[in-house]
Amino acid sequence: MPENKNIGLFIPCYIDQFYPQVAIATLELLEKLDCQVGYPMGQTCCGQPLANSGYERDTEGGSRYFIEQFQHFDYIVAPSGSCVLHIKEHFPVSAKSHPSFPEIKDKIFELTEFLTDVLQVKIQGKFPHRVGYHASCHGLRGLRLGASSELNVADFNKPKNLLSQLEGLDWVELDRRDECCGFGGTFAVSEEALSVQMGNDRLRDHISHQAEIITAGDVSCLMHLEGLAKRQNKGLKFMHIAEILNQAIL
């Protein structure tokens, strides 16, 4: 990354409210990698929950506000593939007409995407655990953080490339590595039974391969899977990939 570039840290509302440790880990990780990080104190929700529920019109003001909060940064980084994809692809038309939107779209990155494609880091650290990775739908099929099985493309996986650099980490190869966990935002509310079944399918895949820790780039997926695991006393641990990387780096 060119020197003296300022990074705007975007923390989605559900991380801010329920998983602040993920926000802290993201900040500490970027600072350990010699990034200059700023945090706009006025930032708020990107509008994805409303838009996904059919209320895109009600997100117009918040979407323009997001652009105003972050337009002066050189890069924008968030520990959430779903929110990054919403901003890049699903902002309302009125926000996309903002003169700064094209620049915002090009300079916002999901965390592992930023570490891999922009910083091109080599991670030095230790994490002696058996780790299963859940590929969120938005990150995999929206941001293309990895190769999905329905496409005839060369295999790649940006989060795996980062985690595999850690000494002692045992990567779990799943049977169905790119299957949805069933959360899907409001889908988990409107289709509870189906959502639960899909989540249990993912848990069984990880458990059958003796995963100790399940990680992901989206806390929403981890929240869904962890809730199911706790209710069934599965004994699994859940960590966002930012927490693993930050803990591992010496």
Q: Are strands 130-134 and 213-216 parallel, antiparallel or unpaired?
A: parallel
146 and 106 within one domain: no
- Phi first, then psi: give them for residue 103, nearest 5 degrees: -70, -40
State which of 119, 138, 169 marks the end of a domain: 119
CB neighbours of residue 219 within 10 Å: 23
Q: Are strands 6-9 and 36-38 parallel, antiparallel or unpaired?
A: parallel
Q: Is residue 70 part of a domain?
A: yes
CA distance 26 to 12: 12
Q: Is residue 62 part of a domain?
A: yes
195 and 233 within one domain: yes
105 and 164 within one domain: no
Q: Is residue 225 part of a domain?
A: yes
Look-up of token digits 């941001």: 143
Domain count, the chain: 2
CA-closest candidate to residue 96, choices 73, 66, 74: 66
70 and 36 within one domain: yes
26 and 105 within one domain: yes
Domain containing 143 equals 130-248
pLDDT at 3: 60
pLDDT at 107: 98
pLDDT at 62: 96
Average pLDDT along the chain, 250 residues, taken 10 residues at a time: 79 96 98 96 94 90 97 97 97 96 98 97 96 97 96 96 98 96 91 97 98 97 97 97 96
Which CATH number goes with the domain that contains 146? 3.40.50
156 and 77 within one domain: no
